[in-house]
Structure 1
Amino acid sequence: MKHRSIHTAVVLVLVAALVSTPAIATAATPTVRSADSTEQVDPTDLSDPDEFERWLDETMADQLERHHIPGAAVVVVNDGDVLLAKGYGYADLEAGRPVVANETVFSIGSTGKLVTWTAVMQGVEDDRLDLDRDVNGYLADSTVTVPDTYAEPITLEHLGTHSAGFEDIFAGMVADDPDEVRPMEKILADHQPARVRPPGEFVAYSNYGTALAGHVLAEQSDATFTEYADERIFTPLGMDDTTYAQPLPHELEPRRAIGYTSQNGEYQAHDPVIWTLPPEGGSLRTTATDMGHFMLAHLNEGTYGSERILEAETVREMHSRQFTKSEAVPELNGMAFGFIEMDRNGETIVGHWGDTPRFKSLLALYPERDTGIFVVYNSPGGGPARFELLQAFTDRYYPQSDTPVVEPPNGATDRARELAGDYRSLTVSESSWERVLGVMTRTFTVGATDEGYLTTTALGEETRQWVERRPGVYEEVGGSDMLVFRVDEDGRATHMFRHAFGPATYERVPWYESLTVLQAVLGAGVVAFLSVLLLWLGGPVWRRWRGGIVPSDRERAARWLLGTVSLLWLAVLVIFLLAWINFNAEAASPSLALQTGKVLRYVALAGTIGAVVATGFAWRDSYWTRSARLHYSVVSALTLLFAWQLYLLRILPL
């Protein structure tokens, strides 16, 4: 338990602001819990709208209070009709404006990607697109070109299952002002992520991949992507209050839900984020009832009323698994086409969730039950709340019949210990300082207890316990999530998958990239640098008071060099932490401070090399006392280790 305390303390020192930072449309990690107050009833009770509304009212009231959320909207469809559409709480606290399901316009984040993939499949039906063709074949007239890093080309099938192999980047996705939004083609060309693995190998969620698919569709159409979506999806489905426009049209602006954060019991309102890539979903604004129309079309084999947006076979394909993450564990959730598998309690569930800094949403379809649920919240507390609602709804109307595993089997302790280590999401940047997001917030530390249980810890999550169902497959104790491990030919675990989080793969990292080592090195470096600055500033005062030999010019230069290096590394660390606090603004337009930090990191690195050389002179020429030389040597070594860890975070890309 001691290393966990150190782990937490260092994270809070280094990334205190990250906990309240947006989970930027890249799929926050859901924690699946069953609501304690959820009474299991017969599924047929869903046909009683009054009973369902009473349950939902109680559930939403509890969520808004417990998760500090001002407002939310929910729509549930069943058997081809809207069962309930209702608003809860407030869209605007200052004005006292309540949420109204068919009026209040919310940002829904990446849930809007389902519109993009629906549009792409329309292109497939029209024979303009082929899921198995190299996407470069559609980009002959575009400045966007996918590099041939690997022999295998990237296809729409890869993009639709998030298996294209792109690194994760956020640069270019937001702007400071709507007038600064550039053409989608230019943004995609200027901010292209690197291909870091062959396509079709692993699932790793990609905003860029979805935006690229939307661009491919637009290149093969006589309209922009937003014009296409308006004409081919929103208009036939009667989604009259749905738009990608930024700012909102004047008739919708008075109905906009304001995004809030909760701090010290008070709510702080925030201005809308300006998103630059419509297919990615961030800029989509809509009402709960409009999303109800969208769900009804997908549940009714592509039709809504007299309008058809997809053929029945196409809808079934979109809802069917297209990427299996573990052939050995077929019950593990994978990826449909654009839709994320969310199966719970043995029920087939597909959908998507969306995250912007202040808005959290989720859409889930139960195709075999002809049922769908959509919920959106206007505060970060909606992140865990949406998955709690999904689990509570599933538990109540489609309860689990299996008896959960509670005791580890024989030999579980040794097997659990073999799995212990850090596992990091492949949805990380490999080339920029944005990598900090993945390393700090998308890393799971897996531990083993003496009784044979697994434990997992991650920033922003409580410690969770898992029990072995069979070798390599673990079930959450007190929950419905599942962990599955992939092993190599030597039997060593290399990857981890989570049942509750379909669009991700977690790769086991070597010991020197573990959070424990990272935090220990950075923490020790900060302490060492502060000690140098203290001696640097206090040395002359001490000599005046106690007397002593005046240092030579070389000795003074060596001390000044290490002091300057220490100051520079501290400045670099502070600058990048502040940049992370203001991540959206920095992604839209890097500040002067961040630009300065990018220069200082190389100056600090050059100084570090000089300090290492000076260490050799200090021992050769017997500078200072032995203890002073030892201190200098230790700090010089720590500057190298500090620089190494910043390189692993790509704060110091080489």
Structure 2
Amino acid sequence: MKRKFLSLLFISFFIIHTIISTLFTPVFALNLNLFEEKTPSGIPFNKMEKVIDEYVSKYIGKTTPGAAIAIVKNGEIVFLKGYGYADLENQIPVDPKLTVFEWASTSKLFTWTSVMQLVESGKLDLDADIKTYLLPEFAEKLNYNQTITMRDIMNHSAGFGNYAFNTIVLSPDKLVSLEEALLRDKPKQYYKVGTASAYSNYSTSLAGYIVQNISQQPFEAYIRENIFNVLSMNNTSSHPTLGDNSKIIEKKAQGYIPSQKGGFKLGNWSYVSHLPAGSINGTAEDFARYAIALTPDFREKSPLFKDTNTLITMLSPSYDINGEMVGTSHGFFEYVGNYRTLGHGGNTAAFSSQFAVVPEERFGIVILTNAYLEMNILFGLQDLLLGKDYSDIKVPNEELPSSKKVTGRYIPVDRQEGNFVAFTEYFNLYTVKATDQNTIMMNIGPYNGTYLQTKPYYYELIDDNIPFFRNMYHVIRFKIENDAVKHVFVGNGVDLSPLPTGRTMPFLISSLIILLVNILFFIIAPAVLIITIIKDKNKGFHQGNKRFNLYFLVLVLLGLVTLTNNLIPTYKIMISSFRTFAEMKPHILLNFPLLIATITVAVLSFISVRKASISRGFKALYLISIVLLISLFSLLFHWNYFFVVG
């Protein structure tokens, strides 16, 4: 009897231990029947962990120090696992339940969710002028000319170009209020509203500000009350400094920047004044709860909405050009897959994230990493779990237009307009080349994707050398007018356009040549002049020569200073996109006195040259310097180095 009792006790203990271990191990499946399921790409659940482990192990320690991955299916978290380190220096491993990551632009999905909650309650109309929801004095300060609706904002089609500064700062003392950020960091509204999809952090911030105005509470408070608390996302915060949930700060991962020599260097945490665009910090487990809320059973309501139709509407196509949907659903981006897939990605100064759901399959994935611009795990793993086989993409029997008609160089519509950063963007263009009658290759720097034409001017991706193309550029459509490409529709905020008038390749090449010649000349000329001045002094030339030589020397030194003054901010923005305009403003403002000083000295030197006794060669050198200075300042004007934009 005693032995039976002990045996029963041992068996009970073993069962309880097994249950507890199952619940609290990093990887778990709460419903054993799910192992009969497959991922949308066809991987059986009983092999899923092995497949994920094998794939992720190729990149942990190489493209990112750590990662947290969550997978949901049928309303349950079926996979939750951490890889690598949250803190390399202290060898702290990633815990998917506790390690806090920056969610970056995947935060935008919560902004769109809050917008749809207000639409459901009748407080917001997606097709009304957004000025309806802004105080008149604030709306007047925004100073944009075209009418914008919330639907335009959610489609990233509100007419705004990009704005390079202040979106992310690297110190909390540089944060400002959401209202101040919107009035300070205004991008140029340069294209017609509704005609293109151009990714806009600014527009998303504006949407969040409208949520704040309508709800009469700070945006981060609205998100916490109406989303985080509803979904029991207790290890998450959208506050710029995590001030509303400070306990999670001690669990936040360190962020890193991959080194070109291998390894990682410690990066900065990011602070976001435009918090609706990318301020959320949280765990993979918490983010998985949001994925579950977006994929309820068709007989159930999402806890985020009172009406099932609201969720259906939010996840339905909203960006429709010429009757053909092109990739955006009320702020959610469409990804390629065997089933319709929706989500978003994001990057901060030292973190990267990817989120996607497949509503039809009630499936979702969360991938969080603590490295800047990690793409292999984010895009590659998503494609592994959700993607489709390209082999079924075929050329139809009908005759299609020659692919040579779409060849050329293109630039994103979300480019910088109205500030000097545009100069750097125009030297990193997208190139499309025809490889045969129905096939093209699109290159972005060293990366490329191969596309097959399946309908007139409609190309589907069939191969690439980085998973980025599968997630962002899986289908591209060329709009043809007068036998030339007018626009390239992609959706997902990444539409492209041909090079605009005044910035075609001949002009871009000319700009680069002018810049290089100026650099070469104004580095060499000061040394030549100093030597000449010393020789003239030894030869005892008259005062006219001395005066001219002095003006000429000052003139070329002004050219050198002007070049240096503008190359510094250009270099800074090229090596790091996370800059404040306050860093750049002194350089822009300095251009004005430099221009005035250059004109003044040029006039004085022109007057004095007539009284000097100089050789024809030296006079030619002087005239060349005048021509180059004129070309340099013209170039600076054209590329907006004189425009104070913030």
Q: What residue is the counterpart of 1:571 in the other structure?
A: 564
Identity %: 24
The answer to whether the aligner puts 1:244 opposite 2:206 as a matched pair is: no
**For the residues of structure 1 that align with 2:222 and 2:354, how far apart are their CA atoms?**
24
Q: Are the structure 2 counterparts of residues 467 and 147 from structure 1 closer, same or farther at C-alpha, using a change threshold of 3 Å?
A: same
Matches within 5 A, 1:343-354: 344-345=336-337, 347-354=339-346
How many aligned residue pairs are there?
595
Q: Are the structure 2 counterparts of residues 551 and 520 from structure 1 closer, same or farther at C-alpha, using a change threshold of 3 Å?
A: same
Q: Which of 580, 602, 617 is the equivalent residue of 2:592? A: 602
The answer to whether the aligner puts 1:509 opposite 2:509 as a matched pair is: no
**For the residues of structure 1 that align with 2:292 and 2:458, how far apart are their CA atoms?**
36
**For the residues of structure 2 that align with 1:637 and 1:649, how far apart are their CA atoms?**
18
The answer to whether the aligner puts 1:538 opposite 2:531 as a matched pair is: yes
SS of the equivalent of 1:217 reads helix
What displacement does 1:133 show?
1.4
- Which amino acid letter does the alignment assign opposite residue 143 of structure 1? F
**For the residues of structure 2 that align with 1:410 and 1:495, how far apart are their CA atoms?**
19
Q: Which of 102, 117, 126 is the equivalent residue of 1:122? A: 117
Q: Which of 199, 207, 222 is the equivalent residue of 1:213? A: 207
**For the residues of structure 2 that align with 1:477 and 1:569, how far apart are their CA atoms?**
48
Q: What residue is the counterpart of 1:369 in the other structure?
A: 361
The answer to whether the aligner puts 1:156 opposite 2:150 as a matched pair is: yes
Query: How high is the TM-score relative to the length of structure 1?
Result: 0.80
What displacement does 1:89 show?
0.7
**For the residues of structure 2 that align with 1:72 and 1:241, how far apart are their CA atoms?**
17
Matches within 5 A, 1:173-184: 173-175=167-169, 177-178=171-172, 181-184=175-178
The answer to whether the aligner puts 1:77 opposite 2:69 as a matched pair is: no
Contact 1:493 1:508 in 2 (8 A): no
The answer to whether the aligner puts 1:105 opposite 2:95 as a matched pair is: no
What displacement does 1:536 show?
2.5
SS of the equivalent of 1:72 reads strand
Consecutive unaligned residues of structure 1, counting only runs of 5 or more, are 1-40
Q: Which of 79, 89, 94 is the equivalent residue of 1:94? A: 89
Q: What residue is the counterpart of 2:11 in the other structure?
A: none
**For the residues of structure 1 that align with 2:360 and 2:144, how far apart are their CA atoms?**
41
Q: Which of 401, 408, 427 is the equivalent residue of 1:420? A: 408
**For the residues of structure 2 that align with 1:43 and 1:186, how far apart are their CA atoms?**
45
**For the residues of structure 1 that align with 2:545 and 2:366, how far apart are their CA atoms?**
73
Q: Which of 133, 139, 142 is the equivalent residue of 1:138? A: 133
Q: What residue is the counterpart of 1:628 in the other structure?
A: 618
Query: How high is the TM-score relative to the length of structure 2?
Result: 0.81
SS of the equivalent of 1:240 reads coil
Contact 1:323 1:335 in 2 (8 A): yes
What displacement does 1:485 show?
2.1
The answer to whether the aligner puts 1:323 opposite 2:319 as a matched pair is: yes
**For the residues of structure 2 that align with 1:394 and 1:585, how far apart are their CA atoms?**
32
**For the residues of structure 2 that align with 1:173 and 1:374, how far apart are their CA atoms?**
24
Q: Are the structure 2 counterparts of residues 563 and 502 from structure 1 closer, same or farther at C-alpha, using a change threshold of 3 Å?
A: closer
Cα deviation digits, residues 620-654 of structure 1 (max 9, x gap): 88974444344443443333333333334322328
**For the residues of structure 2 that align with 1:467 and 1:630, how far apart are their CA atoms?**
56
What displacement does 1:384 show?
4.5
Larger Rg: 2
- Which amino acid letter does the alignment assign opposite residue 345 of structure 2? W
**For the residues of structure 2 that align with 1:452 and 1:635, how far apart are their CA atoms?**
51
**For the residues of structure 2 that align with 1:310 and 1:542, how far apart are their CA atoms?**
88
Q: What residue is the counterpart of 1:444 in the other structure?
A: 430
**For the residues of structure 1 that align with 2:567 and 2:301, how far apart are their CA atoms?**
57
SS of the equivalent of 2:365 reads strand
Cα deviation digits, residues 506-532 of structure 1 (max 9, x gap): 342346454534433322221122232
Q: Which moved more, 1:98-107 or 1:467-476?
A: 467-476
Contact 1:107 1:284 in 2 (8 A): yes
Q: Which of 160, 171, 191 is the equivalent residue of 2:185? A: 191
What displacement does 1:239 show?
0.7
**CA RMSD, aligned part only?**
3.7
Q: Are the structure 2 counterparts of residues 76 and 141 from structure 1 closer, same or farther at C-alpha, using a change threshold of 3 Å?
A: same
Contact 1:302 1:308 in 2 (8 A): no
The answer to whether the aligner puts 1:643 opposite 2:633 as a matched pair is: yes
- Which amino acid letter does the alignment assign opposite residue 265 of structure 1? G
Consecutive unaligned residues of structure 2, counting only runs of 5 or more, are 1-36, 465-469
Q: What residue is the counterpart of 1:555 in the other structure?
A: 548
Q: Which of 266, 270, 276 is the equivalent residue of 1:269? A: 266
**For the residues of structure 2 that align with 1:345 and 1:148, how far apart are their CA atoms?**
41
- Which amino acid letter does the alignment assign opposite residue 428 of structure 1? R
Contact 2:172 2:271 in 1 (8 A): yes
**For the residues of structure 2 that align with 1:570 and 1:45, how far apart are their CA atoms?**
54
- Which amino acid letter does the alignment assign opposite residue 89 of structure 2? E
